[in-house]
Amino acid sequence: MNSNSLSNLLVYFSILLSAINLVLFSVALSQNSKTSKTSRIAMNLTWLTGIFLGLALVLRGVAAQRAPWGNMYEFALASCFAIILSFLVISIRKDINWLGIFVIAPVLILLGLSVVVLYTESGPLVPALKSSWLLIHVTAAIISYGAFSINFGLSIIYLFKVKNKFKKLPSANRIDEFSYKVVLFAFPIWTFAVISGAIWAESAWGRYWGWDPKETWAFITWIIYAAYLHSRVTIGWKGKKSAWVGIIGYVAIIFNFFVINIWVTGLHSYAGV
Amino acid sequence: MSKQQKIKKQRTQTPLPPMNLRGFFRWLWHQLTSMNTALLLLLLVALAAIPGSILPQKTASLLRVKQWKENNPGLVKIFEQLGLFDVYGSFWFSAIYILLMISLIGCVIPRLKVYWQNLNEIPQKTPENITRFTGYQKINLKSNSYKSIQKVLKKQKWRLNISGNSLTAEKGYLREAGNLVFHASLILITIAVAFGALFNYRGTIIVKEGNGFANNLTQYDDFHAGKFFKEKSMPDFYFYLKNFEVDFERGLNQRGAPRGFVASISLENAGQVEDVDVLVNKPIEIDGTKIYLTGHGYAPRIEVKDKNNEIVFSDSVTFLPQDANFSSIGVIKIPDESPQIGINARFLPTAEIDPLNGPVSTFPGLDDPELFMSFWQGDLGVNEGTPQSIYRLETSNMVETGLEELKPGQTWKLDNGYSVTFQNVERFASFQISYDPAKGFALAGAIFAMLGMFFGLGIQRRRIFLKISTKSDKSVMELSGLSKSATHDVGLDINRLLVELKLAKPFKKDRNL
């Protein structure tokens, strides 16, 4: 079996595991104890999913002899990995098993779409992507996407929480503060992704900023999260209002990822779909 | 009163504009530089950027704008008036970001002043009652440990205000410095963008294999320059495209995807000639001007002879690629014949007949090239003085007199005596040549913005209040703290101090959120 098909197999396993996890995490959420056995099992399975996805990515890289994010399928795979990884890294220090369902559900959807819609067999890069900036720029984008996804999950939970759902979860206030911290982490990385993208654009296309649709939406995303931070610090927005700003920011990310990559013609059309 | 209530109260108390002019401008400036306005402008700039990412933009592709207009004739007029085909150069987009910049400057300058004046600020005096602050506690001390407490605080880089038996320690001053650097850098980036837009130039050229290009205005197919650009500032170079090589994926997976482009040129600059390769992602630089390889296509060489067997046209013609498999369209206009001649042609590098769509190209490489042509005679419409696209034939005053498909080397003899020969296929490469004198400043701005953000978001301003009271031979220390940001727990700082003084154990990491 070559590394490409081995990678595919690992992705299928990840989908299977995530489907099981989705059930386990929802059962755990409906139980009354804070860290139930079910949620611990689900947490362990999430680690396994993370390892499988990480391996799947490495194998794609090995198959093509390059960073494994050269088309939309690989980028989606890497983003799923980043989402799970962010979740797992936080879980080392904090009990956030309750967030599981809101991490696994989007990952499952994204993995499903990757396999069904976006799949491309591993291959060499198109010339436009042959640059060391691929590693720097895209890695930063993937990490911040992962973290913004966590913020999205937390924002949704917050909105349920203030309606008195999920009683055993941490207080709404704690969730709100934590989701703010996640943006504090993700925003500088996103800024770096935009800046490194501009540097790459200068060396590939002859201008550092050209309002290409992808650039425009990266800018819009940046502005929304900048507004998120400013509104919290200066005019005291928090809670519900902040949660909605976070959700709007994430909508911009999703729009940029799917709509712009697939339906809008621009310089970033590397979808390979 | 909570912070939010306070803010609400302030908002409702905003005074109405005073009646005199000076007062009015002061009021206007106050409104413009308020945080609410800044946030509104941020939101507006994000919203205003959206249409430009959905509608085709003149700055990106004139051709796509034209196609869109043809498909939506009813909307053209109003969209044109609103500048929706050039959103980022439109008056309303500029208005928003200029207001945002003014708001930013109005925010940064007063804060810069305050920061400068308080550069060596010492923390405020310890309040009388410190029990109401975070993490208040009382601890028994051994007699002369007050000095060692101060030593530890200094070691932990706190700024101290000591007055007798009480002190305030404060740190996190770099937070404001970081914020100021970040916002000032954004202003620098904006200035660099504006300055670049005034002095830059950017042009595209199409060079066929075996042809050359000299860097002067007449040679460009498309040229944009800033208001203060001067033609004599362009470096005086010349290059000649020796060979353009392109490599496509032949395997089944991603078949036809490009794998490599190399434009081998012979470059002449300041009396020196050298051979260089221009690659995608690897531009070459001449005196700050950069040459980028941006695209490529086919240029079939075509010869047209009249009934006396005299050549009336012979050249390689640039064809415009239409899709990933390089179906390309091209036009030949021969205005000197009477009646005038026009040829509409479609070039397929790997031609196949699709039962549904007719002839299509199935691979971008030259596996089975074919040229499909229609021959037109009549009035080309080139004499009226209205500029015409070189890729489009105006056939309203012309008659079609023949249709044919040719492979390289084949000749088509028409009934009217003309003959058309498809001699061979050459390639062309398109290059972008650009110069932006301010991009270094934009980069510096970006780097400083990152650094500023790192300090501005990562550092928290917080205080510790400390009081020592001595009764007979017993000393008691009271301490508490205050954090200026909601996410930072000053209790951790107090704990760190007490651990260093061996008065407490480190906090166990709380696994709850």
With CB atoms and an 8 Å threshold, state whether B280 touches A204.
yes
Please check the confidence at residue B13 and state whether its pLDDT lies above 80: no
Q: Span B221-238, mean pLDDT?
A: 87
Q: What is the pLDDT of residue B471?
A: 78
CA B66 to chain centre: 24
Whether the bond into B56 is cis, omega within 30 of 0: no
Q: What is the pLDDT of residue B140?
A: 86
With CB atoms and an 8 Å threshold, state whether B511 touches A94.
yes
CB < 8 Å to B257, chain A: 123, 126, 272
Helix orientation angle between A139-161 and A100-113, rounded to the nearest 10 degrees: 130
Q: Span B221-247, mean pLDDT?
A: 89
Q: Taking CA atoms, what residue in B is nearest to A122?
A: B253
Please check the confidence at residue B310 and state whether its pLDDT lies above 80: yes
- Picking from B39, B49, B486, the nearest residue to A231 by CB comes out as B39
CB < 8 Å to A217, chain B: 53
Q: Do B349 and B325 form a contact (C-beta atoms < 8 A)? A: yes
Number of neighbouring beta carbons within 10 Å of residue B415: 8
With CB atoms and an 8 Å threshold, state whether A216 touches B50.
yes
Q: What is the pLDDT of residue B16?
A: 65
Q: Where are the domains of chain B?
A: 28-114, 126-171+463-500, 200-297+432-448, 298-428
Band the pLDDT of B167: cuts 50, 70, 90.
Answer: very high
Please check the confidence at residue B11 and state whether its pLDDT lies above 60: no
φ and ψ at residue A89, rounded to 5 degrees: -65, -40
Give Dmax (Cα) for chain A: 59
d(CA B141, CA B467): 12
Please check the confidence at residue B298 and state whether its pLDDT lies above 90: yes
d(CA A154, CA A181): 11
φ and ψ at residue B396, rounded to 5 degrees: -65, -25
CB < 8 Å to B64, chain A: 265
Band the pLDDT of B15: cuts 50, 70, 90.
Answer: low
CATH 1.25.40 for the B126-171+463-500 domain, yes or no = no
- Using one digit for the tens of pLDDT, what is the confidence trace for B100-123? 999 999 989 999 999 998 888 888
Least confident of B136-145, B283-292, B313-322, B381-390: B381-390
Q: What is the pLDDT of residue A106?
A: 92
With CB atoms and an 8 Å threshold, state whether B249 touches A206.
no
- Using one digit for the tens of pLDDT, what is the confidence trace for B415-457? 989 999 999 999 999 999 999 999 999 999 999 999 999 999 9
Helix orientation angle between A213-234 and A239-254, rounded to the nearest 10 degrees: 170
Please check the confidence at residue B281 and state whether its pLDDT lies above 70: yes
Taking CA atoms, B233 is separated from A163, B151, B230, in Å, by 66, 62, 6
With CB atoms and an 8 Å threshold, state whether A209 touches B193.
yes
With CB atoms and an 8 Å threshold, state whether A260 touches B258.
no
**Which run of H or of E encompasses B355?**
none
- Picking from B38, B292, B454, the nearest residue to A188 by CB comes out as B454
Q: Span B352-368, mean pLDDT?
A: 89
Q: Taking CA atoms, what residue in B is nearest to A259?
A: B54
More confident residue, A138 or B62: A138
Q: Is B467 helix (H, G, I), strand (E, B) or coil?
A: strand
Helix orientation angle between A100-113 and A3-30, rounded to the nearest 10 degrees: 150
With CB atoms and an 8 Å threshold, state whether A207 touches B436.
yes
- Using one digit for the tens of pLDDT, what is the confidence trace for B317-327? 999 888 888 99
Please check the confidence at residue B99 and state whether its pLDDT lies above 90: yes
Model ipTM? Answer: 0.90
Mutate to test the interface with A, among B57, B204, B281, B509 (most CBs of A within 10 A): B281
Helices (H), B220-377: none
CB < 8 Å to A266, chain B: 60
Q: Taking CA atoms, what residue in B is nearest to A204?
A: B281
Please check the confidence at residue B486 and state whether its pLDDT lies above 80: no
Nearest chain B Cα distance for residue A46, angstroms:
19
Mutate to test the interface with A, among B39, B40, B53 (most CBs of A within 10 A): B53
Please check the confidence at residue B145 and state whether its pLDDT lies above 90: no
Q: Where are the domains of chain A?
A: 1-124, 125-273
Q: What is the pLDDT of residue A271?
A: 46
A24, amino acid identity: L
Q: What is the pLDDT of residue A166?
A: 79
For chain A, which residues score pLDDT lower than 50?
Answer: 271-273
Nearest chain B Cα distance for residue A175, angstroms:
7
Band the pLDDT of B1: cuts 50, 70, 90.
Answer: very low
Q: What is the pLDDT of residue A269?
A: 58
Q: Taking CA atoms, what residue in B is nearest to A269?
A: B324
Reported as half-sphere exposure (CB side, CA atoms, 13 A), residue A32 has a value of: 0
Q: Span B163-177, mean pLDDT?
A: 91
Please check the confidence at residue B358 and state whether its pLDDT lies above 90: no
Q: Do B326 and B300 form a contact (C-beta atoms < 8 A)? A: no
| pTM: predicted TM-score of the whole model, two decimal places | 0.86
Percent of chain B with pLDDT over 90: 51
Structure tokens at B92: 């309303």
Decide the pairing of beta strands B340-348 and B328-334.
Answer: antiparallel
d(CA B423, CA A12): 53
Q: Taking CA atoms, what residue in A is nearest to B447?
A: A195
